[in-house]
Every structure is written in C-alpha cells, then in structure tokens.
Amino acid sequence: MDNLDFLPMTPSEVQARGWDQPDIVFVSGDAYVDHPSFANALLGRVLEAEGYKVAMLCQPDWKSVDAWRAIGKPRLFYAVSGGNMDSMINHYTANKKRRNQDAYSPGGEIGLRPDRATAVYSQRCREAFADVPVVIGGVEASLRRIAHFDYWSETVKPSMLVTSKADLCGFGMGEAQIVEIAKRLREGKTIRDCRDLRGVAYLMGKKDELPEHAFERPIGKPVTTTRVLPSYEAVKEDKIAFAEMTRTLHQETNPQNGARLIQAHGDRTLVVNPPALALETDELDELYDLPYTRMSHPMYRKPIPADQMIRDSVTIMRGCFGGCTFCSITMHQGNAIQSRSEESIMKEVETMAADPQFKGVISDLGGPTANMYRMRCTKPEVEAICKRASCVHPTVCKLLDTSHDPTKSLMKKARETPGIKKVHIASGIRMDLARFDDEYLEDLAEHHVGGHLKVAPEHTSGKVLEHMKKPATNTFDHFAERFKVASAKAGKEQYLVPYYIASHPGSGVEEMIELAEYLKASGYKPRQVQDFIPAPMDIATCMYYTGLDPMSMKPVETVKKLRDRKVQRALMQFFAPENYFTVHKALVEAGRRDLIGSGPQCLIPAKAPKAALEAKRTGDAPVRPTKNQGRRAEQKSRQKPQQPKGPAFPNDRSYEQ
C-alpha cells in the first residue's frame, strides 16, 4: 500500500496531495488504522467522500504545539478525540494501576497519549491556531458531556466542554453531526450557527439567552421540551442532586422524544441537545462501503494490537437496547439497533475473501452484541414515545422483534462464501434473546464456535443482577443446557466461558460467596476477573458514588476500599492457591465455615495447600473484609435464601410504555 492510499498524516503527505491547507484536522489519541471499526478512520473517510480535505494528527506529542503547527492550519475546524476508549480507562485498571499495554498504539506502547486526552489536545489546538473552531467528540467527550463523577480522582468534574474550552461537543457516533458542521462552515457560517443540531452540546456565555428550538423527528410533532438538570455546583456537593441528574439524563436517551437538557456551570449554561436520530440502513451502508484500506498506516513500524484483533472482523450493527447499568454503549451508540443491509455486509466479506493476505478466518461477525441484528420495535409509533430504559429488562418487551432469521441468513451466507474457511462469533451473545431460537443455537454451535463461547451472566445474586439490569441466573442455566445439547448434536465438545463482575454496586461479601458457591457447583473456574470500573455517566457509577439507585432513589451498598475489592476478586477465584488465606478469612468472618473443608460443597480445604503457603511466604499477604461487611454477611447467611426474581421463559413477557 502506498501512503497516498491513506488519509495524510504528515506535512509531506499533505503537500503531496497539492493542498495549501487541510479543511479538517483530526486529532486522536489512537494510531491511524484505516478500518471502519476505528472512529477517526470512519469519520475521516465520510468527510473525504463529501469532498473535504482531511488530515490526521494521531498521537501527537502533546507536550509541545509543534506537531499541530507542522500539519498546517485547518481551514474549517479541528475534530478532537481521545480515541476509541476513554483515555483514563485505556490507561488504568479498576485498581487505578497503570496498564502495561495500549492496544491502540504501535507495539502496544504506553505513554503515547495523555490522561484526559481530549481536553489536553483541545488546549493545544487553541495554542496552535486560536481562531480555528474546536469540536470534540468520541467516547471520552460523549460520556463527559455533562457534570460527571470521575473515578480516578474521586471527584465530580464539570462538562468536558469546560475543561477542554472547545466550541462544540458532538456526542454519540457523530457522522451526521460532523458532516453538517463541515457543510455549514464551508458555506461561511460560524460554529455558533451549528448549535441547533441534534447530538451536540455547547456552553452559552453568561450574557447569552437560551435559544428557542424545535427538533424534528420522523413521527409526531417536533421536540420542544427543555429539562433543567441540577447545577454542576449542586451535584458536586449533594449526592441526591447527582442521582436526580443521572435519572433525568437516562430518561431522555431516546432521540425520538428526548428533551433538550440544560445545566448551570457557574455563570454559564451547558446546553445538551437531543441525541442524533438513528441511521437508516442505507445511511449505515454508505459509511461502511467507503474505500478503507483496512490496514494501519505504513509509517508504523510495529503492529498495533487492536488492528490485529479487529482487522478481520465485520461490523453488522450498532447500538444496544439491553440497558445494562454498568455499560456505556447505550449512552454513546444509542438504544436503537442500526443494522447494515445483508448486501453491504456480504460485499465486505467478499472483499476480505479476495485479499491475498487474508487467511480465510473472519474473527467476528457482530457488534456490541452478536444477536441483535435487525431487532427493532415492531410498532414505530410506540417506539417514538417509549421511555423504557431497556427492551429486555425486567422482561422482554412484547413489541420487540426478536427474530434471529436475518442473523441466521447472514451467518450462513458468510460461511459459505468462497475463500472463507471459518466465521467466528466473538461479540457477546445476549442469552435472553438466543433462548428464543433453537436453530440459531444449533448454527452457532456447529459452525461459529471454536471450542469456547464467551457469555456474560455477570453475577448470580438476584439483588446484584437487578442492580445491573441483567436477567436472572436461571436464564444462563437454561442457555447453558441448550448450548450443550446443540454442541452434542453437532458432534462437538464445546464449553461456555462465562464472565462475571466483582465489586459491582450491590455486591458484598455474601453475594460473592453466593457466586463462588454457584461456580463451585457448576464447575466453572474463571481465569480472569472483571472488576467493576465506574465509567462516567453510567447508572451503576451513580450507585457507586452516591449509594443510591438513581431510578428508584433507594440505597445501594457499594464497596470502595481496595482491600474489599480484592476480597471480592479472591472469592471469585477461590480455587487459586494464592487466594486461600483471603478466602479463608472472608468465609470465617461471614460465618460460612461450612464452606471450609473436604465436603463437595466446600470452596477451600481446611488445611492450607503448599502452594498457598508458598504464596504467603513470598509476600502475597491475605486481605480481609471490613468488620461491618463480615457482620452483614453472617446475619444474611442465617436468613432463608431467596430465589432470584426474573423471567425464565419467553412467554413471561410484558410491555411497559
């Protein structure tokens, strides 16, 4: 591949195209991989297709303004993003320790982007060319568009528009907004003239007046409602106000009826317009049919881990209607499923198959989930007024089209394409939907699983699952049994790899002991433990910070101390020798000595194994829960256990408007 096959990244590449200056400069915390799974590539190609001169400034040295000035002054605006991930989650683990790899950097090298990259990059844009508009976007800006709790500093921070000093924030996926912004600026309008767009947020000056507005929608009258969020100063000081802010925000996520939101930040007012409307199939097809090289830029001498992982994957949809409280997908991609056409997807599959470097294996055919393709509300007029946060919790909505037929057809055509040896399904399987279709499970087991299938039941405690907005454990048990039957029918010995979360709000020692008992009885031994990370704007993050469920305003117990989080991780991996003493102390303090010994139900033996003694000798000190946690666990252990509530079968469904 020649450098000219990519969007220009260096001053010499800009000059090679004969440009006096670029129209738009993308500043990104990610390396440039020309693949539609990378936001800077997708948005850059979209603008290029509209006739704009687009340059890439990827992972610039932020300690100096030199890289900004070298690439040239953009004629229209800077488009700034921290990258495909929030930079703080990219940099730090749940225990706030520095990660040892950045998957979006050459060679996985760390340190090529700053903490809170969007704000830092924006300030450099201002320093380089103060008169050029700055538009921030991407996951980091999208999830920090209002006042939010920042886990890494344990403080409530203002909107990123305040810290970045940007002119405009485009939240969500951003294609519609960025094209319209470019169009208006090219026509001679100002960045202030873009404040009426859906999917943007901005800060008004202290002397500005709130403009009148009317946001058109496909069905019904234009949206003219404005809701006032508690001020930044209020949510910083009052956790009840923070919970009220979170509840209001999540009530207004449906772009077809979501209100405009305003929030005072000192003497300025933050304005958040309703989200952008979901893209139609033909609009989504246009984005993915653009001429991507599907490769990293030739300037990189080391492989980019995310590129290697994603290059042979195919995105078939975006969005998620699951409404999980710990997940940010809905707040960024939206809750309406936006699906590509089968023709567009197959065109991409055939292009991959014809590539001499392609080895014949599609690593994933999916998106946020693998089996929500083409699932939408069957009544658009109801969808237009619906305020329900999840289409599948507490029960699957009776108006949701749960047919897997489009997915099955797509899977079959992809695996039968000449040049395709295997099509893996690596995206998560939504088990409460998959249980509706035995044929889908049989296709999955026979053709698309390489021995192990990843699923995410997340927990076993009914209380915790309710806080997560996830289905009850019996849903997973039902799915597991049917997957086992489907695998046997295919003549294969295959296994599920369940993922669980430790330290989620509502999860204490007793809930983790319950999970450990379940894992012991089921024979599961999780190799990795997923610790809850409070990402900005999530409902679960509000629970973590305030101790309140913002939707009900009821109290939620949370663990915040590092040692308590370590106890939860250890209980999930009770079988690991290095966790023996931590688990032993937790069980003793919880009054669960019945789980210590040689019985079939016991989690650990009464006598410490040699490996545990060796781990202790080499410095892995045991961690013990707090006294209050131990007392609560002992009290609850004496109570009659309750069965988790929730639907078990597809006929147990209801609709809530």
Which helix H or strand E contains 531, and what residues bound it? strand 530-531
Query: How far apart are alpha carbons 491 and 445 in whole angstroms?
Result: 10
Secondary structure (3-state) at 226: strand
- What is the pLDDT at residue 619? 65
- What is the pLDDT at residue 297? 96
Pairing of strands 77-81, 530-531: unpaired
Q: Are 391 and 321 in contact (CB under 8 A)?
A: yes
- What is the pLDDT at residue 624? 44
- Taken in order of first residue, the domains within the chain and their CATH numbers are 3-203 (3.40.50.280)
Pairing of strands 530-531, 148-150: unpaired
pLDDT of 654 > 80? The answer is no
639 — pLDDT class (breaks 50, 70, 90): very low
Query: How far apart are alpha carbons 418 and 350 in whole angstroms?
Result: 8
Percentage of the chain beyond pLDDT 70 is 94
Nearest alpha carbon to residue 447 among 369, 372, 365: 365
The string of pLDDT tens digits covering residues 30-68 is 999 999 999 999 999 999 999 999 999 999 999 999 999
- What is the pLDDT at residue 435? 83
Inter-CA distances, 412 with 267, 314, 534, 555, Å: 58, 14, 39, 48
Q: Are 575 and 541 in contact (CB under 8 A)?
A: no
Query: How far apart are alpha carbons 384 and 386 in whole angstroms?
Result: 6
Q: Are 572 and 529 in contact (CB under 8 A)?
A: yes
Query: How far apart are alpha carbons 190 and 181 in whole angstroms?
Result: 9
Whether pTM exceeds 0.85 = yes
Secondary structure (3-state) at 348: helix
**How many Å separate Cα 76 from the centre of its chain?**
30
Query: How far apart are alpha carbons 107 and 308 in whole angstroms?
Result: 11
